[in-house]
Amino acid sequence: MSTVNVSDLPLRVLHATECAASGTLTVMVALAHELANAGAKQMVLYSQRAETPVDLVELFPAGVEFMQVPAARGLHLGFIRNFSQALRRLADEWKPDVVHLHSSKAGFVGRFALAALRSKVNVLYSPHGLSFLDPDRTARNAVFKSLEYLAAKTPSTAVACGCSEAQLLSALSGREAIMLENPVDDTFFTIDPRPTDAPVIVSVGRLSRQKAPDRFAAVARLVRQQRPDARFVWIGDGDAHYAATLREAGCEMLGWRTQGEVAASLSTATVYLQTSLWEGLPVSVIQALAAGVPCVVQDCVGNRDAVAHESTGFVAESIDDLAARIVCLIDDSDMRAVMSARARRDARRRFGRAAFGRRVRQLYELADREQLVAHDVLESCERQVIG
């Protein structure tokens, strides 16, 4: 991959995704603002989902251009054709210096589409959560892992959002992945805790298999056996049967909320609970850490990279363990206070916009690339060991 120097601006960056929503969109917006501050010209090629914000354009900095293609329903041929054609057309006519592919589907289709071009372009690929990590779908995982392996053979650079993801991407391609940990908006560091009389356990995310709301409901039932006053709150929407499962367990459903409303909910939270089965690096967890909320998370890729076990929260392997850790935090205010301070301090160092901005500049300039790879991956992995 040839060197791109931000000093030769205007650098032209094309972001492409089929997932203009949730954590992927949050990271794209943050990335776009950092690049805009450096004077880059940017284009966004995207598909709209049900949860794509209606004010999508307003989230990005002024001057960013947009092109929309029909949404993907699975990885069907229509989407492959439409996305590939649009990407090749923009690469030919808009002439980006860098194409940054966001999400697994866009990454797979996009890398092959761009590899077929005569004029080569620098390609970055950020999966924001690999598609072959579902622990209960072995056959499906094998197919998606094979697709990732094939796409990794194209001329491109993998950009991981966490240590575990970096290790998996490096193993697939045989080349070291670059680390760019997800950022958190600095407003989360300014949240003032407003404790309530009853303990409040919060989770944020789409009601989907990946996020495992059924496990959240099971934990709620177990915790209430010891703390009947505990409130369990889910922020987000999605599959109806998961919503029914949460309601049956007595959990409160708030639906999708703005960033400010999420911050307000975190200000009253006693514990943040993440039950997901796999992640990239969960934005909702690092928002909670920045707000000083101790996190109890299911042990999986992404979750274990965000939370330092027994320092900023707990990484647990089972529903029983998740429930026990939550009860422990509810009953021990001194432990919560210590973890809260550590969580906010660690989050600012790792996920604050200053740290993110520095890594973005390194990534797009590709200066000291080998040092960036080795230092960031090693540092992140060591943090998980020493807490």
Asked if 155 and 115 count as a contact pair (C-beta separation under 8 A), the reply is yes
In order along its 387 residues, the chain shows pLDDT tens digits of: 444 444 455 899 999 998 888 888 989 999 999 999 988 999 999 988 878 888 999 999 999 999 999 876 655 788 889 999 999 999 999 999 999 999 988 999 999 999 888 777 899 999 998 888 888 888 888 888 898 888 888 889 999 999 999 999 999 888 889 999 999 999 999 999 898 889 999 999 999 999 999 999 999 999 999 999 999 999 999 999 999 999 999 999 999 898 899 999 999 999 999 999 999 899 999 999 999 999 999 999 999 999 999 999 999 999 999 999 999 999 999 999 999 999 999 999 999 999 999 899 888 874 443 444 444 444 555 444 333
Asked if 2 and 119 count as a contact pair (C-beta separation under 8 A), the reply is no
pLDDT of residue 13: 95
Exposed e or buried b for every residue in 368-383, given b needs 16+ CB within 10 A? ebeebbeebbeebbeb
pTM score: 0.84
pLDDT digit string, tens, across residues 220-274: 999 999 999 999 999 999 999 999 999 999 999 999 898 899 999 999 999 999 9
Question: Percentage of the chain surpassing pLDDT 90?
Answer: 66
Q: In this structure, what token pair is assigned to residue 77?
A: 């041929």
Asked if 50 and 137 count as a contact pair (C-beta separation under 8 A), the reply is no
Alpha carbon distances (Å) from 222 to 82, 197, 230, 246, 320: 48, 20, 11, 14, 8
Asked if 63 and 83 count as a contact pair (C-beta separation under 8 A), the reply is no
- Residue whose structure tokens are 């009953």: 331
Which residues in the chain are classed under CATH 3.40.50.2000?
6-183+352-386, 186-351
pLDDT of residue 54: 87
Element (H or E) spanning 3, and its range? none
DSSP one-letter string for 46-72: E---TTS-TTHHHHSPTT-EEEE-PPP
Asked if 319 and 212 count as a contact pair (C-beta separation under 8 A), the reply is no
Tell me which DSSP letter residue 97 carries: S
Helix (H, G, I), strand (E, B) or coil at 98: strand
DSSP one-letter string for 12-37: EEEEEES--SHHHHHHHHHHHHHHHH
Question: Cα–Cα distance between 191 and 112 in angstroms, integer?
Answer: 44
Superfamily of structural domain 186-351: Glycogen Phosphorylase B; (3.40.50.2000)
pLDDT of residue 228: 97
Instruction: Please provide residue 358's backbone torsions phi and psi, each rounded to the nearest 5 degrees.
Output: -65, -45
What amino acid is encoded at 28 in this protein? Answer: M
* CA 212 to centroid of chain Cα atoms: 16
pLDDT of residue 383: 46
Long-range contacts of 257-262 (CB under 8 A, 24+ apart): 259/185, 259/187, 260/187, 261/235, 262/204, 262/235, 262/287
Question: What residues contact residue 7 under an 8 Å CB cut-off, 6+ apart?
Answer: 365
Instruction: Give the dihedral sign, CA 18/24/25/30.
Output: negative
Alpha carbon distances (Å) from 60 to 32, 35, 196: 7, 11, 35
pLDDT of residue 375: 46
CATH 3.40.50.2000 fits 6-183+352-386, yes or no: yes
How many CB atoms within 10 Å of residue 74?
A: 7
pLDDT of residue 46: 93
Asked if 208 and 215 count as a contact pair (C-beta separation under 8 A), the reply is no
Q: In this structure, what token pair is assigned to residue 31?
A: 């990335």
